[in-house]
Structure 1
């Protein structure tokens, strides 16, 4: 390609386009993911929350493993238990040697009702290796905003019970905490398991 006859501004635009193309090509993993590839589109995993033991848990404590993060609440009647079971089932379908490389993070956005004890009981139903986390509302809203999602509380009924609206999206971070995949609810266990297996092998291989 010859650009010597182009104007300086046109040459700069052409050079910028070529550089951006090269950068984007360099960032691509080359995998045909079932989930949405969000590499470079969202910030790295960062938070300071309270776990089901009542202790402070920071994102960096899970570095070295693939983190699968889902926002929900323990009184959720359908989306949360269905998603939790599908995620755990997908991990269980991975090769035995790779399963320990994946950590599930369940972040409750209902701190008023989801005490550490209740969180521990809830996540323990799905598996002993799932981290149940929560925090005050301000902290949770900041975390949700970081990953371009939100949640809300409906009006309580005569018994004081209320529902919580939230996204069903699941975020996957690699062993260094970089955002890699967004898993939508229509993905099957097999598809999720395939993506997680590929990601583990990529980061450990």
Structure 2
């Protein structure tokens, strides 16, 4: 059942990525990156949420860092832990350059994902990961801002429910501009390659 619920969101992400890639090719633009480029197709990093320290957090707080934004939740049985483990390996492969990056894990399940829960969860994967939660309306607005999607099952009364969600990783440069979209179809090598380009000294804005 879980796989069937997740397929529409994954398919949507892949179709969106393919459309952007085709648009870039038709314009004859150079493609120095291997992942799907979204420069000019998505808005800058901007949000008002609460971080896993229980403090207000905004997109401006992460200026100067390359940001990898991912929507998920701590009770996720498979995709979220696999993605965070994948990103931890990516950070390890980047070496010292990884200090210039941050993984922002935005909860689509704020009812269960308190700052304390988020802190314990993300830190179990990588020290450069930050958990973000907040009001349901603020999270929904952020999801729509980046054309992500999620859907919660009704709570049966015991708090044991699942949430279907998109699985794309949104990558922003140090100036907060949306640059790349990574989907599960992309290889780890491609993600490492493109992050090197964004993190290298003198990287173009």
Q: Tell me if both proteins adopt one fold, taking TM over 0.5 as the criterion.
A: yes
Measured in 1, the distance between the counterparts of 2:121 and 2:140 equals 22
Contact 2:197 2:203 in 1 (8 A): no
Q: 2:92: which partner in 1?
A: 92
After superposition, the C-alpha distances for 1:100-147 in whole angstroms (9 at most, x for unaligned) are 111110000100000111000000100122110011110001000100
Number of residue pairs the alignment of both structures matches: 179
State TM-score, norm by structure 1. 0.82
Secondary structure of the equivalent of 2:170?
strand
Q: 2:60: which partner in 1?
A: 60
| Cα deviation, residue 88, structure 1 | 1.7
After superposition, the C-alpha distances for 1:127-179 in whole angstroms (9 at most, x for unaligned) are 12211001111000100010011211112346331101110000000011000
| Cα deviation, residue 80, structure 1 | 0.3
Secondary structure of the equivalent of 1:126?
coil
1:198 has 2:197 as partner: yes
Contact 1:106 1:130 in 2 (8 A): yes
Q: 2:16: which partner in 1?
A: none
1:43 has 2:12 as partner: no
Measured in 2, the distance between the counterparts of 1:158 and 1:138 equals 22
Secondary structure of the equivalent of 1:98?
helix
1:122 has 2:121 as partner: yes
For structure 1, the residue ranges without an aligned partner over 5 or more in a row are 1-23
Contact 2:35 2:194 in 1 (8 A): yes
Secondary structure of the equivalent of 2:128?
coil
Greater CA drift, 99-108 or 154-163: 154-163
Measured in 1, the distance between the counterparts of 2:158 and 2:60 equals 40
Greater CA drift, 41-50 or 150-159: 150-159
State TM-score, norm by structure 2. 0.82
Q: 1:185: which partner in 2?
A: 184
| Cα deviation, residue 195, structure 1 | 1.1
Measured in 2, the distance between the counterparts of 1:173 and 1:161 equals 34
For structure 2, the residue ranges without an aligned partner over 5 or more in a row are 1-26
Contact 2:68 2:171 in 1 (8 A): yes
Measured in 2, the distance between the counterparts of 1:195 and 1:79 equals 22
| Cα deviation, residue 188, structure 1 | 2.3
Measured in 2, the distance between the counterparts of 1:203 and 1:175 equals 11
CA gap of 1:69–1:203, structure 2 versus 1, over 3 A, is: farther
